[in-house]
């Protein structure tokens, strides 16, 4: 018994979701490196006079971690959406037919009048 049969005449061309999935690894790496560069730059550049260096570095580190988590969550959400669209554009399936005995003349339901009863 063939549970689901593919519809072979249905062809949906790949769209923007494939392009998004191709670019996501590069976007993720570049974005993560840019965010990590903040933490490196704050350690390399000389601090302003009168600023607590340890507190400043800790603040930038917290901001970098929070921004990285937000960025990776956004990338993951976009990836899930693109995968769902790609799957939905895949081949269509047709389920096996189920014969209905009263498909030409539906049964009379109690409480409802038929159109020809008047």
Q: Report if residue 5 sits inside a domain.
A: no
Cα separations in angstroms, 56 against 21, 44, 64, 93: 37, 13, 12, 59
Q: Report if residue 107 sits inside a domain.
A: no
Handedness of CA 84, 87, 89, 93 (dihedral sign): negative
Q: Report if residue 45 sits inside a domain.
A: yes
Domain that holds residue 33: 13-93
User: What are the strands, taking DSSP E only, across the chain?
Assistant: 4-7, 92-95
Q: Shortest CA distance to 37 belongs to which of 55, 64, 57, 59?
A: 64
**Residue-by-residue pLDDT tens, the chain, 118 positions:** 456 667 666 667 788 999 999 999 999 999 999 999 999 999 999 888 888 999 999 999 999 999 999 999 999 999 999 999 988 887 777 766 666 666 666 666 666 665 555 4
Number of domains in the chain: 1
Q: Report if residue 77 sits inside a domain.
A: yes
Q: Report if residue 117 sits inside a domain.
A: no
Q: Report if residue 102 sits inside a domain.
A: no
SS3 content of the chain, % helix, strand, coil (to 5): 55, 5, 40
Q: Which tokens sit at 96?
A: 């096996």
**pTM value surpassing 0.85:** no
Q: Report if residue 56 sits inside a domain.
A: yes
């Amino acid at each position: 018994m063939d549970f689901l049969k593919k519809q072979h005449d249905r062809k949906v061309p790949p769209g923007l979701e494939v392009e998004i999935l191709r670019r996501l690894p590069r976007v993720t790496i570049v974005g993560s490196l840019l965010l990590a560069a903040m933490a490196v730059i704050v350690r390399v550049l000389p601090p302003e006079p009168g600023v607590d260096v340890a507190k400043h570095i800790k603040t930038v580190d917290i901001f970098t971690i929070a921004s990285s988590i937000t960025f990776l969550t956004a990338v993951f959400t976009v990836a899930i959406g693109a995968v769902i669209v790609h799957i939905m554009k895949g081949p269509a399936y047709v389920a096996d037919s189920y014969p209905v005995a009263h498909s030409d003349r539906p049964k009379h339901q109690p409480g409802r009048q038929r159109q020809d009863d008047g």
